[in-house]
Each structure stands twice: as structure tokens, then as C-alpha cells.
Amino acid sequence: MKYQKHTLKNGLRIVLSPMLDTETATVIVMAGTGSRYESEKENGLAHFLEHMFFKGTKKRPNTLDISRELDAVGAEYNAYTSKDHTAYYAKVDARHLDIALDVVSDLFLNAKLEREEIERERGTILQEINMYEDMPQRRVGEHFETLLYGKHALGRDIAGPKKNIQSFKREDFVRYLRRGYTADNVVVGVAGKIHPSEVKKMIEKHFARMRTGKRPSFEKIKEQQGKPGIFLRHKKTDQTHIVLGARGYDMFHQDRFALAVLATILGGGMSSRLFTEVRERRGLAYSVHTSVDTYHDAGYLATQCGVEHKNLEKTIAVILSEYKKTTAELVESEELKKAKEYIKGHFALGMEGSDDIAGYLVTQEVLRHKITLPQEYRQMIDRVTAQDVLRVAQDIFINKKLNMAIIGPHANGKQLVKSLSL
């Protein structure tokens, strides 16, 4: 992977990655702001604002004008809001990159934020929230982070509560926009069949006059936990949905690579320990996987699955048993090698398209202000030893760091807390 990085006079960063063996090009514009940059009363504003960017500009007065122009060239386009960044992108036949860049930059820089459209979009957002409520497999992960981070911004849902959505005014959007969408806090990335010098000039033309301002800050999290934690949501469901895990490390921690290997050993792929024990040997779940999530100042490892209601405690016991085994014995060399190759293989599969490359580079630059190339990432994974995995497991798999979120028709939370012990 090759790339160029440039910084305009106003502070805006540009990342360009020419790719020889593709006929596509992707433009992505990402702001280093998301729901963790909101106050409690603002919760949901970042996500709502993302929706409003597609509601029209002076050049393209309404949603249809934006979508019609991108659809006319067969583009794939969308946007998303996370807790620490928000992105807008379009992937096109490389011949139409100028159109993609013009449209994405226009909606990013020139959204009208009309009051009538805000009123109309409230209903859409409220239905999106209702949709997620009917998706316990997704919702349980949000409850898990609420359990971990409580009233801190990291513990709030990105979409926000309905009362907030119903109260936002145009002035709220404008204030948030001016605070977070500044040149110094934005990265524009383009990858694919491109001529970097030409694309750089195109980006300068669109973004040279972008508003400037101080980069926004966020309240850091102080992780304090003295005993196992549980979040139980009583709900009539066909399955009980579980996320069970432990507090881990932030995105800069030196042991994040060892933690990734540990998670893969436990629940990465169909030959992992938990997939074998939970699904293949006991038939407790259809899907079970373990993953790691990180933020600037926090992180965790967690296992998720859906099980028959009566098998909840049995499943918890199996997961904890596998966690405990990793704290007591060194992983064998063959299994360690398999986990590393699994991680590197999946990483390679995720770097095939221009959208993959553009998204990876820009996200790295926005969140870390430093780009780790794929070969560097692979080297860090290769350096993980069996002793590293054991040490990390012993560090995170202790009772006071355990947490579990559950959605299902269960009422006895006290009994479930007792089961949460290594």
C-alpha cells in the first residue's frame, strides 16, 4: 500500500492512495467528531446531523438531486456516525471521480439544514431508533457499553434518546457543526485509479476555504470497577442475547496486538475454542464470536452469542471456563500461529477495494494521527508470543473486570451475577 499525505494551509489533511489494479475510486471525508463529543442534552445530534447533510445544498436543493446524480454513475454512497468519528463517502467508476468528489464535498460543506427538513427527518430518526429496539442482537452490544461506561458519553447510544431527537433545533446543528467540522479536524481521502497530483488540486479547490477552528476535545473516561457487572434487559425474545467480556486496553496500548490474538484464539472463526465448545460440542448457539473494541482511552474484549433461554447459565459457564483456561496455560505454537494467520488473512481480505483502502487510511489518520501500514500491522501481530497472550489473559480475566449484558425474558439478575465468576 502506497499513499501520500498533504496538509492544506487551513489544516485540512489529504490522504491519497493510487491503486494500479482497479477500475474504481473512492472518496471519503471524515470528521474527528461523533457522539462522545456531545453533552447529555446533545446526545443524538451528531447522528441526526449526518442525516441532514443529505437533505440538500444550494447547488443540489434536495435529497433527490444528490441521489440522482450519484445513481446516474452507478455510485455506492453512504455515511455513518460512530462515537469518535463521522464519515461520508462515495465509490465510483474511476472515470467519474470528479462527480463523486464534487457531490460529497458539496453536501459536507454546504448543507442547508432547513428547518422544514429537520422536522421531516425527526420521524425518520425515531423510526431508526425503533428499528434498533427490534434488533436485540445489535442492541445488546449497546447495552454492554452502557454497562461499561455508564453516564459518560461513551456509555450513551449514538442515535440518542427520543426526547432529544424531538427537541433539537436548527441552532443546535449549526453550533455542533461549527465546533466539530473544522478543517483541522477533517481528513479527505481518495484511493483507487487516480492521478494524485490532479486529485490534490481538485480537493484544494473544494476545501481551501473550509471553516477553521480549534479541534474539539472530549471528556476522558476513568475506568473503575470493583466487582462483576451485569445489565439485564427483560424483553420477550425468541433467543436470549448475551455479550460477556472484560475491560481491556485503549487503541494505543502496547498490548492491543496480544489482545487481538487472544480474542481470535477464543472466538475468531469456526475452529476457535468458543465456537467449538459452545456450538459444535454442545449445540448451545448458532453464532458465537469474540472481538476487541477500542477507543482513545478505553477498550474491551467481548464474546457474543444468542442461546435458548434455559441454556443461559450453562452458556455463561462455558464461556468463562474458556476464558479461565487462557489464564492457566500457554497456548500451543500451532494454535498461536493459526490465530495470527487468521488475523493477517482477514486483514488482507479487507484491503481489496478502493473503499477499503480509503476507509482504512483516513480512519487511521483521524483517530491516531498516524497511519500504520499493513506490513507494520502484520509485523506487530507476528511479534506476539504465547507468553504475551498468557500475560494479557491473566491481566483482563479477573472477576472485577468482568461484565455481561443480556436481553431476554429473565428476571433474576441476582442469580446471574453469581454465575459471573472465574
Catalytic residues: 50
Write down the residue that cell numbers 454492554 correspond to: 144
User: Which residues make beta-bridge pairs with 14?
Assistant: 6, 188
Report CA Rg, the chain: 23
Phi/psi of residue 330, nearest 5 degrees: -70, 140
CA 210 to chain centre: 26
The amino acid sitting at 242 is: I
User: Which residues make beta-bridge pairs with 233?
Assistant: 407
Question: Cell numbers of 410, please?
Answer: 429473565
Total residues found in the chain within this entry: 422
Determine the Cα–Cα distance for residues 340 and 382; give it in Å rounded to an integer: 7
- Strand 186-192 relative to strand 13-18, pairing: parallel
10 Å CB burial of residue 420 (0-12, 13-18, 19+) is: middle
Contact of 249 with 255, CB cutoff 8 Å:
yes
Q: What angle do CA 355, 17, 351 make, to 5 degrees?
A: 45
CA distances from 139 to 77, 148, 311 (A): 25, 15, 20
Determine the Cα–Cα distance for residues 18 and 12; give it in Å rounded to an integer: 20
Question: Cell numbers of 90, please?
Answer: 462515495
Determine the Cα–Cα distance for residues 95 and 193; give it in Å rounded to an integer: 9
Closest Cα partner for 246 from 327, 128, 183?
327
The angle that helices 45-52 and 115-133 make with each other, rounded to 10 degrees, is 120
Determine the Cα–Cα distance for residues 407 and 137; give it in Å rounded to an integer: 9
Query: Residues 6 or more apart from 207 whose CB is under 8 A from it?
Result: 8, 10, 12, 105, 109, 183, 186, 188
10 Å CB burial of residue 105 (0-12, 13-18, 19+) is: buried
